[in-house]
Amino acid sequence: MDLCIEQPRRFSSKAPIPQSIAGPFNHEGNSGHTDKCQSYSKADVSRSIKTGDETRTETAISEKFLVAQQSLTLTVSPGPKFWSHRLRKAPGGKDIIVHYCKSLKKTEEVAKHFLNDDVIGFDMEWKPQSSKSASVQKNVSLIQIANAERIALFQIALFKPSRTLEDFLSPSLQRILESPNITKAGVAIKGDCTRLKNFLGINARGTFELSHLYKLIKYCQSDPTLINKRPVNLSEQVEEHFGLPLAKDDDVRCSDWTAALNYRQVQYAATDSYACLCLFNTMDAKRRALTPMPPLPAHAELDLPIRLAEELDVETTNNKPVEPQVIKPAVCLETEDDAPKITSLARTM
């Protein structure tokens, strides 16, 4: 590799640069062009040390390469440290749209975009350490959903008026949450659904625990005894399948989700729900590639065992084989190659 560096002035009079390391602006071997940018290769360095004043020339070249290496270190921009929805693109190469809804009217308008989806990413946020006796706004502060094209943040805590449950419930959002035909993929999702039931009266169906699928594809062929229903945090799943963890700064993760969101909170909440969608699609594709192919884990509210492929020939209903549950994955385009290779506290920590 050629390195472009400036030749120090102090060597121009005392130690003329030999012909072997003359730069592109000095083809005649004249060392007087001390202010020009010259090009040096590793071969040039090797030759230069064998000619002229060895000690002085070697010191000069060493200094030049040190400066060049420092310059390269400063100019090469590092890659991203954390996974984010901003690393992905919607179908057609467009940027993913993020809707931040602070009213019931806007929520109803945006929620309609998700009514025809088969699978969406799902997450929730609430004020840390909220008690069961606290208000709806503190216990269900924010609901996040995501499909391939857009992410929606519904900040229930800011809805006005807030006198009855109807003031918090958008008909389209309620339909999405209660539909068994729209799979809501998340982590520790049963806890989220308990909050929806206790504080909004929503009986969520079609809920999918990503931790079940994560353990199924990870251990079904190597050690099935490790497959269980204990949650695996979202960031760990993302890092294993996409190569980068999620940003989980405590000052954002445990912030007040009842107040208007700042930029960092919006990015955090949007990334979590979109990560759930991408994880479902990626892990389901890996499941389908397994031989034999295990069935997709059942919706979480059904509380059924995680089944292995060989069990398909055993379980029957009315003397007919039980067909594995199949959910059509949503499209989730990537902007970079993924190697096959959030909430408060324990929910997505």
Mean pLDDT of 288-303: 96
Q: Using DSSP, state whether 153 is helix, strand or coil.
A: strand
How, if at all, do strands 150-154 and 183-186 pair?
unpaired
pLDDT one-digit tens code per residue, 251-260 = 999 999 999 9
CB under 8 Å to 110, separation ≥6 — which residues? Answer: 99, 101, 150, 152, 154
CB 185 within 8 A of CB 237: no
pLDDT one-digit tens code per residue, 172-219 = 999 999 999 999 999 999 999 999 999 999 999 999 999 999 999 999
Q: What is the dihedral of CA 6, 11, 12, 18, to 10 degrees?
A: -90
- Rounded Cα distance between 218 and 223, Å, is 9
Mean pLDDT of 71-99: 86
Give residue 334's identity as a one-letter amino acid code.
Answer: E
E strand residue ranges, the chain: 3-6, 37-40, 97-101, 119-125, 142-146, 150-154, 183-186, 207-209, 316-317, 320-321
CATH class of the region 85-298? alpha beta
Give residue 130's identity as a one-letter amino acid code.
Answer: S
Rg (CA), the chain: 29
pLDDT one-digit tens code per residue, 135-170 = 999 999 999 999 999 999 999 999 999 999 999 999
pLDDT score of 226 more than 90: yes
Mean pLDDT of 263-268: 98
